[in-house]
Structure 1
Amino acid sequence: MLDQIKTDIDAVMHRDPAAKTRLEAALCYPGLHAIWLHRLAHKLYLKGWVLIPRLLNTFSRFLTGIDIHPGATLGPGLFIDHGMGLVIGETAELGSNVTLYQGVTLGGTGKEKGKRHPTIGDNVVVSSGAKVLGSFTVGSNSKIGAGSVVLKEVPPNSVVVGVPGRIVTKDGVRIAASDMSSPDSMIDLNHNQLPDPVADYEDRLADYMVRMDSRLEELEEIIKKHREQNEKRGNNE
């Protein structure tokens, strides 16, 4: 248990430059408090208890603004940054060294029973306000852009942006730092530097329109010359 607490604090110290001391992280980070309360609730939930785990969940939500269902499975090294408004559903499963920002929802769709929430791979970053909805897997080392709505499977080493989420890959190359000496070195936290397929399409459309305008001008010039030539021939006749 102490090793797990140390790992949780290490995640904060490695991934948040605002954290100055380990004591500050332990006492002042609601993401840590939510994780620790969840672990207690989860153990009781697995033993078949219902009411006490849900009461712990309610207290944690009141204390931190973070709602993690007691049934959710959280891997080691989870870092919740700020976390206000964050929701993790009952059957969600998170791998190692996942990073979640405020307003993230790992939710389900419909009223089906069984697995209905997403499975998040290792070293995944889910940016502010993103919604991952449904029973599918987000592959390891992927990033979900801020405000994205992800409704289908995401392969490993991918970037997802937009509503609905669109997958943008980089030739199958890992989108993480090349230094693999520690788990945190594989996590790319630059979630503000993501491709924008809508902007790319608009740029391509603008280039196409410029080419079309240029071609129309050429055609108009050709037609004008033909008309002038025909007029000269008519006058000569």
Structure 2
Amino acid sequence: MFSKLKAEIDSIMERDPAARSRWEVFSLYSGFKAVRSYRKAHWLLEHGHPFLARWVSQRSRHKTGIEIHPGAKIGKGLFIDHGMGVVIGETAEIGDYCTLYQGVTLGGTGKDKGKRHPTLGDHVLVGSGAKILGPMKIGSNARIAAGAVVLNEVPDNATAVGVPARVVRINGVRPDNLDQVHVSDPVSQELCRINNMLKGMEKTIDKKRTADDKPDEKSADQKHQNFA
């Protein structure tokens, strides 16, 4: 037990240059406390004590500002940095040595029962304020940028950014072969629609100007007859 505790603390110190001692991490880090409380709550849930499990979970949420459902499955070495506002849903799964920053949500979509939260591989980093919604998989060593909203799967060793998130790097290289044009991006689609509408209006205005500038042949003939 103490060896596992030490390993958890050491994994945090490796990723946080601000950590000065194991005692500091153990006694002051809200993310570490939240994960410890989660492991107690998860054990209670697995051993048939759902009410006590939720009680431990809610008590931890009030103390740390981090909500982890007892039903989530979390590997070793999870580091929740700063932590305030982090939410991890009931069917979420997190691999080993992942890092989550403040405001991260591993959430579900809809009210269907069963698997409805994301699965993170090993060594995944999720930036502050990012939202990963739905039962998709985030590959090992993936990086999710701050503020991203992830609605689709992210492959191993990839970096995803934006709203909705799209992959911009795999193994540090831009994936030029990926279809970036047809990515479901409502903001880009609306801008394209407005741009096309403006182009159509410009063409209509140009045609009208051309028609107005063109001399009226019938009127010219009438004027010629009058002078004659």
> TM-score, structure 1 length as denominator?
0.71
Between the two structures, name the one with larger relative contact order (CA 8 Å, sep ≥ 6): 1
Residue matched to 2:36: 36
Q: What CA distance in whole angstroms lies between the structure 1 residues aligned with 2:3 and 2:112? A: 37
Q: What CA distance in whole angstroms lies between the structure 2 residues aligned with 1:10 and 1:79? A: 11
Residue matched to 2:17: 17
SS state at 1:39 partner: helix
Q: What CA distance in whole angstroms lies between the structure 1 residues aligned with 2:100 and 2:118? A: 14
Q: What CA distance in whole angstroms lies between the structure 2 residues aligned with 1:79 and 1:38? A: 13
Q: What CA distance in whole angstroms lies between the structure 2 residues aligned with 1:127 and 1:169? A: 16
Q: What CA distance in whole angstroms lies between the structure 2 residues aligned with 1:137 and 1:174? A: 20
Note if contact 1:76-1:97 (Cα within 8 Å) is conserved in structure 2. Answer: yes
Note if contact 1:141-1:174 (Cα within 8 Å) is conserved in structure 2. Answer: no
Q: What CA distance in whole angstroms lies between the structure 2 residues aligned with 1:33 and 1:4? A: 14
Cα offset, 1:68, TM superposition: 0.2
Question: Number of matched residues?
Answer: 175
Q: What CA distance in whole angstroms lies between the structure 2 residues aligned with 1:7 and 1:93? A: 20
Q: What CA distance in whole angstroms lies between the structure 2 residues aligned with 1:67 and 1:103? A: 11
Cα RMSD after superposing both structures = 1.5
SS state at 1:54 partner: helix
Q: What CA distance in whole angstroms lies between the structure 1 residues aligned with 2:59 and 2:5? A: 20
Q: What CA distance in whole angstroms lies between the structure 2 residues aligned with 1:132 and 1:121? A: 13
Q: What CA distance in whole angstroms lies between the structure 1 residues aligned with 2:24 and 2:2? A: 17
The verdict on how the C-alpha distance between 1:82 and 1:24 changes in structure 2, with shifts beyond 3 A counting, is same
Residue matched to 1:79: 79
Amino acid at match of 1:62: H
Q: What CA distance in whole angstroms lies between the structure 2 residues aligned with 1:8 and 1:106? A: 21
Q: What CA distance in whole angstroms lies between the structure 2 residues aligned with 1:164 and 1:174? A: 20
Residue matched to 1:192: none
Cα deviation digits, residues 123-169 of structure 1 (max 9, x gap)? 10000000000001000000000000001111101000000001112
Amino acid at match of 1:64: T
Residue matched to 2:166: 166
Residue matched to 1:227: none
Alignment of 1:164-203 (within 5 A): 164-170=164-170, 173=171
Amino acid at match of 1:121: G
Cα deviation digits, residues 149-206 of structure 1 (max 9, x gap)? 0011111010000000011124xx368xxxxxxxxxxxxxxxxxxxxxx9xx9xxxxx
Amino acid at match of 1:105: T
Residue matched to 2:135: 135
Q: What CA distance in whole angstroms lies between the structure 1 residues aligned with 2:5 and 2:145? A: 29
Residue matched to 2:178: none
What percent identity do the matched residue pairs reach?
56
> TM-score, structure 2 length as denominator?
0.74
Cα offset, 1:7, TM superposition: 1.6
Q: Which runs of 5+ in 1 are unaligned?
A: 176-197, 202-237
Cα deviation digits, residues 10-55 of structure 1 (max 9, x gap)? 1211011110011111101000000001000001111222110100
User: 2:110 aligned with 1:110, yes or no?
Assistant: yes
Q: What CA distance in whole angstroms lies between the structure 1 residues aligned with 2:3 and 2:103? A: 29
Residue matched to 2:150: 150
Cα deviation digits, residues 31-84 of structure 1 (max 9, x gap)? 000000100000111122211010001100011000000001111111110100
